[in-house]
Amino acid sequence: MSNSTETFGLTVGTDKGGTGKTTNTMHFSYWVSRHYSNVVNRNLRVLLLDLDYQTNLSQRFNVYATEHTAAGIFNPHYGDVKIVKVREHIDLVPGSVFMSAINKEIDSEPNKLWLIYNWIKENVNPDAYDFIIYDTHPDFENTIQAALLASDNILIPIEQDEDSQGGADTILINIKNLKQKMYNHKYGVSEVTVKPILLANKMHHNTKLSRELKAKIGEVENLLAYVPFRTVFDTAQKMKMTVWEYYEAYPKLLDSSAKKFLQELDTAYQTVFDAITDGQL
């Protein structure tokens, strides 16, 4: 058994706002960091990159950085990047309010979509992390395309008030076009190999819509799992915690309904994890 293996790149993204990208980035990374892998005989380690100029992911980890942010990945003019430890086994490259401007600044650069890939190669020890996870802004600008080039998978949170495919239609088409644009004729493959995983988020309990969407899990291509709608996500968020940390802090609130919810969350993330790692971790 080796104690190192490949690092999995995961973009969390979709063109729709507020579907739960940042919430699931935070929670899935925490879930991964608590996962003991029998393949590598240790807990798994995650590096997060906050690529959204709203810097919500950084804020949820109580990081408010004005320098040494992700901006430096795209232009050295913004200063060097410093990786911040936010939890045991979770590090973060803080987000930058300049990320929107950066999308325009790099637009004419021929290697713009390689900037993240190259930065990782030059600055991140491949043995240090098992997952590199990118939280993105709801658009398809240069930074998310660069994240996709560095990723094996994209996790697309969709909401149940959408038709399950409709909620992801635009991003799926954009990815397809990006793969064509980045086709390497010399090697006969695309530089972008990212595989989509759809996650139904904010699933309400026992409504007509939720029943319809649940029935599609496993049926609709790439729709693998669901995360229930729970107000505890918002409550925990205000306290800069994941829902697990929240229940650890307030064990009296961990009633049977909360336990059932945590089980459903665990099932969802285990399914996503298995789809990404395919038994390699």
Ligand X SMILES: Nc1ncnc2c1ncn2[C@@H]1O[C@H](COP(=O)(O)OP(=O)(O)OP(=O)(O)O)[C@@H](O)[C@H]1O
Amino acid at residue number 226 = Y
Q: Whole-angstrom Cα distance, residue 24 to residue 135? A: 9
In the list Mg ion, ligand X, none, the entry touching 138 (Cβ below 5 to 8 angstroms by class) is: ligand X
For ligand X, the closer of residues 19 and 277 by Cβ is: 19
For Mg ion, the closer of residues 22 and 143 by Cβ is: 22
For ligand X, the closer of residues 7 and 151 by Cβ is: 151
Q: Which of residues 56-85 bind ligand X (CB under 6 A)?
A: 56
Place of tokens 């658009």: 139
21 lies in the binding site for ligand X (CB under 6 A)? yes
Q: What is the DSSP letter of 9?
A: E
Q: Whole-angstrom Cα distance, residue 47 to residue 277? A: 16
Interface with ligand X: number of residues (CB under 6 A): 19
State both tokens at 18: 């507020």
Find out whether 231 and 210 touch, Cβ atoms under 8 Å. Answer: no
Instruction: Find the binder of ligand X among 122, 219, 234, 278 (CB under 6 A).
Output: 234
Phi and psi, residue 133, nearest 5°? -120, 130
Q: Whole-angstrom Cα distance, residue 182 to residue 194? A: 12
Q: Which residues contact 139 (CB under 8 A, 6 or more apart)?
A: 15
Q: Whole-angstrom Cα distance, residue 10 to residue 31? A: 14
How many other C-beta atoms can be found within 10 angstroms of the C-beta atom of residue 125? 8
Nearest residue relative to Mg ion (C-beta):
22
9 lies in the binding site for ligand X (CB under 6 A)? no
Instruction: Find the binder of ligand X among 44, 102, 227, 241 (CB under 6 A).
Output: 227
Q: Whole-angstrom Cα distance, residue 276 to residue 9? A: 9
- Would you tell me the crossing angle of helices 115-123 and 142-149 to the nearest 10 degrees? 50
Closest approach, Cβ 136 to Mg ion, in A, equals 8
Q: Whole-angstrom Cα distance, residue 274 to residue 70? A: 29
Q: Which of residues 186-225 bind ligand X (CB under 6 A)?
A: 201-202
245 lies in the binding site for ligand X (CB under 6 A)? no
Closest approach, Cβ 95 to Mg ion, in A, equals 10
Closest approach, Cβ 81 to ligand X, in A, equals 21
Closest approach, Cβ 115 to ligand X, in A, equals 21
229 lies in the binding site for ligand X (CB under 6 A)? yes
In the list ligand X, Mg ion, none, the entry touching 35 (Cβ below 5 to 8 angstroms by class) is: none
Closest approach, Cβ 133 to ligand X, in A, equals 13
For Mg ion, the closer of residues 14 and 164 by Cβ is: 14
Residues that bind ligand X (CB under 6 A): 17-23, 52, 54, 56, 138, 201-202, 227, 229-230, 233-234, 237
